[in-house]
Chains A and B, each alone.
Chain A
Amino acid sequence: DQQVKQNSPSLSVQEGRISILNCDYTNSMFDYFLWYKKYPAEGPTFLISISSIKDKNEDGRFTVFLNKSAKHLSLHIVPSQPGDSAVYFCAATAQGGSEKLVFGKGTKLTVNP
């Protein structure tokens, strides 16, 4: 039973355009969500997070939106750069982060010059 779903295995966008990566979750106890970025042959690195008390969190070119009623979150990257090409993992936890993380399968983003 997949509690965190990233239904698009891959996404390709042009440099300068917006990248939108989607994530759905099924567990209503999740209240903290994170995005990690992973380059080939490297470990994942933390990108941005959002608490369920917010519906938006922004950090430079990266914005995460949370729709609790739809159990859906999305990561927007504007403008997209070739260096953003990586696998992006959505992750969720409960009880304000005191529970272990559950990861989605990841979406491979390719930003074309």
Chain B
Amino acid sequence: NAGVTQTPKFRILKIGQSMTLQCTQDMNHNYMYWYRQDPGMGLKLIYYSVGAGITDKGEVPNGYNVSRSTTEDFPLRLELAAPSQTSVYFCASSYYQGLTEAFFGQGTRLTVV
């Protein structure tokens, strides 16, 4: 049972480049989330989805886009990368909205230079 799988684990981007962070889960969870964690800070919600075809903004959505075409996959797109997007990104999924017993991926460490 793989749980939540994120790729890549590490990435260095140049300012202005774009990339997609992949996230897939095999637990048939309806709810999926993207968080970022900056040094010394808690997890901030970027975007979330309550099911295939439905997404909504979280606390810090600017500079990001998401899509949810299937239950399993929830990719996060960065357009025009900026140094402020240097962070560790976590994807998570849960059965309930409140993230009770949520499962997180291992994270993607992104550096924008």
The listed residue (A34, A42, A104, A106) touching B99 by CB distance below 8 A is A34
In the complex, residue of chain A having the shortest beta-carbon distance to the beta carbon of B56: A100
Interface of B, secondary structure class, is loop
In contact, A101 and B40 (Cβ under 8 angstroms): no
* Chain B residues within 8 Å of A, Cβ to Cβ: 4, 40-45, 48, 58, 90, 92, 96-107
New contact pairs (14) apart from A34-B98, A43-B4, CB-CB < 8 Å: A43-B92, A43-B105, A43-B107, A46-B99, A89-B42, A93-B97, A97-B99, A99-B98, A100-B48, A100-B97, A101-B45, A101-B99, A103-B42, A104-B42
User: In the complex, which residues of chain B have a beta carbon less than 8 angstroms from the beta carbon of A49?
Assistant: 100
Q: Mark A58-101, 1 if CB is under 8 A from B, else 0.
A: 00000000000000000000000000000001010100111111
In contact, B100 and A44 (Cβ under 8 angstroms): no
Please indicate which of the listed interface residues B41, B98, B103 has the most CB atoms of chain A within 10 Å of its own CB: B98
In contact, B105 and A46 (Cβ under 8 angstroms): no
Tell me if A8 counts as interface (CB < 8 A to partner B).
Answer: no
In contact, A42 and B43 (Cβ under 8 angstroms): no
